[in-house]
Each structure stands twice: as structure tokens, then as C-alpha cells.
Amino acid sequence: MSSLFSIDLRFTLSGFVVGLLVGQTGVGGGSLMTPLLVLVFGIHPATAVGTDLLYASVTKAVGTCVHGLNHTVDWRITRRLAYGSLPATMLTLIVMSHIELGTETQGHVISAVLGAMLILTAFSLLFRRTVLTYAGPWLERLTPRRSAWLTVVTGATLGVLVTISSVGAGALGVTALLLLYPTAPMAVIVGSDIAHAVPLTLAAGAGHWILGSVDGKLLCSLLTGSIPGIILGSWFAARVPDFVLRPILAATLTVVGVRIAL
């Protein structure tokens, strides 16, 4: 038990920095932490994904509390996303339970999916404003009912992708919500996306734990840093205007892009 709760300061510092970014922008949990664990620390891809999912669930639960106190969570949006993501997560885990995650081949498969998700995440952040501009006429014709159904579909898509790679809940979720709810403040979009990520990553992470792809010692080290990090980031998010938050998202993209290139 003592070895489980021993702390590695390298992972604690990494958890703090990523937690800070997640709290303020809603982006960076999987898209930064998972490649950091795989490429810098040499963690097996399956273990990195599984551990990151549980790390994200606890970290974002704390962030959700702060955003909730700041009234920057739209629970209607969060529920709609969860209606799609939770069933999709369960189905994905059932499929994954028939695959041996510890093999070298499966490690390569997960790495390939992870890489594709990172590229998609980078694209969604880099071209977000362009997409929103061209989607303007379509958004004007979007009825509240259609917006609600598309939110459920978005949740289902995120459920599959996040369960496999741990990437996408932040960057892709925020981009989709900006398209579906263009009048919502950025802080509310971020807060709602973080709140939805809690049940999604908890369900997916619990499934990975059952499948044996979670490192408990690594998880404790990451959480030691991420919890204070996301508290600070979430506190700043409600106090920083949209025109400041958007460049922060772009800066997060730059970090992810560099990591992909390396």
C-alpha cells in the first residue's frame, strides 16, 4: 500500500501544469498528458491511456466544482453530451475487453489512434475560428431541437474516441460546443465541457482499470499535482475575458503541435 501512494515529483509537476491548462481552457488533459507519458516517460500506450482517464476524471471533478461555484457550467449541455457518451463508452469497453491490451501489436494500434486523435485535436484548435466563420450560415438555421440532438451525437462520438485514446474530450468537445452554442460565453463552454468529461472519463477509466491498464502509483503522483493546478486554472477561467481565453487555447495547440512533431 505504501508503494501505491509514493510520489514521483516528475509526474506531480506534469500533473500540475496540465491541470492548470485544463482548468483554464478545458483542453490538454489527454492531448498533452497521454503523449507526455508515452513519449517522454516511456509509459506503455495502453497504461498511459487508462491511467490518464482516471487522472482526468478526478482532476476534472475538482474543476467542475470550481466552475459550478462560478456559475460557468450549463448542466443542460452537460446532460445532453452524457446521454450520448456514456452508452458509447460502455459499448467501446465491451469491444476492448476482447482485445489483449498488453501485447505489442495492440500498443501500436493504440498509439496510431492516439496519434490520429492528436492531429485531429490540433486541427480543431488551429482552424477553430475559420470553421466557425464558414459555419455561420448553417448555425443560423440550427433549431434548438436539432442542436440538442447533435449534442447527443457529439457526446457519443467523444465516448468512442476518448475511451480508446483518452484524447478529444477537451479540444474536440469545446470546438463542437462552440458550433452548437455560438452565443454561450467561452467560460461556460469550457465549464460545461469539463463537467461532461467527469462521467465520461470515470466510466472509461474504470473500464481500463478492470482491463488492467491503470498504474496506481503513477495515478497518485499525477493527482498530487493536478488537483491544485486545476483549482487555480478554473478560478482564473471565470475571471479572464473571452478574448484572452482564445489565445490561451491557441497556445495549448502550439504545445500539442510541438509534441506531435517530436
What's the CA gap between 146 and 153, in Å, rounded? 11
**Could you give the CA distance from residue 209 to residue 58 in angstroms, rounded to a whole number?**
14
> 0.85 cut: is pTM over it?
no
Q: 237 near 194, Cβ under 8 Å?
A: no
Give the integer Cα–Cα distance in Å for 141 and 242: 25
pLDDT, position 260: 45
Cβ proximity of 195 and 67 under 8 Å: yes
Average pLDDT, the chain: 80
Does the pLDDT of residue 108 top 80, yes or no? no
Structural contact between residues 213 and 1, judged by C-beta atoms closer than 8 angstroms = no
169 pLDDT above the threshold of 50: yes
Indicate the burial class of 123 (C-beta count within 10 angstroms; 0-12, 13-18, 19 or more).
middle
- pLDDT score recorded for residue 151: 95
Name the percent of the chain lying above pLDDT 90. 26
Which pLDDT value is given to residue 2? Answer: 46
Find out whether 158 and 81 touch, Cβ atoms under 8 Å: yes
pLDDT of the residue at 174: 81
Question: How confident is the model at residue 182, as a pLDDT?
Answer: 78
Contact 37, 51 (CB under 8 A): yes
- The predicted structure's pLDDT at residue 261: 47
Give the pLDDT confidence of 74-102 residue by residue, as tens digits. 999 999 999 999 999 999 999 888 776 55
Among 59-68, 164-173, 215-224, name the most confident range: 215-224
**pLDDT tens for each residue of 8-35:** 899 999 989 888 877 777 666 677 788 7
pLDDT at 5 over 70: no
pLDDT of residue 121: 63
Burial of 57 per CB tally in 10 Å (0-12, 13-18, 19+) = buried
For 218, residues 6+ apart whose C-beta sits below 8 A from its C-beta are: 8, 11, 37, 43, 47, 51
Task: Give the confidence band of 46 by pLDDT, cuts at 50, 70, 90.
Answer: confident
What's residue 152's pLDDT?
97
Average pLDDT over residues 225-230: 89
Q: Predicted confidence band at 258 (pLDDT cuts at 50, 70, 90)?
A: low
Does residue 242 have a pLDDT over 60?
A: no
d(CA 54, CA 197): 11
Average pLDDT over residues 220-242: 81
Among the ranges given (114-123, 188-197, 227-236), the one the predictor scored with the smallest mean pLDDT: 114-123
Predicted local distance difference test score (pLDDT) of residue 184: 84
pLDDT at residue 208 tops 60: yes
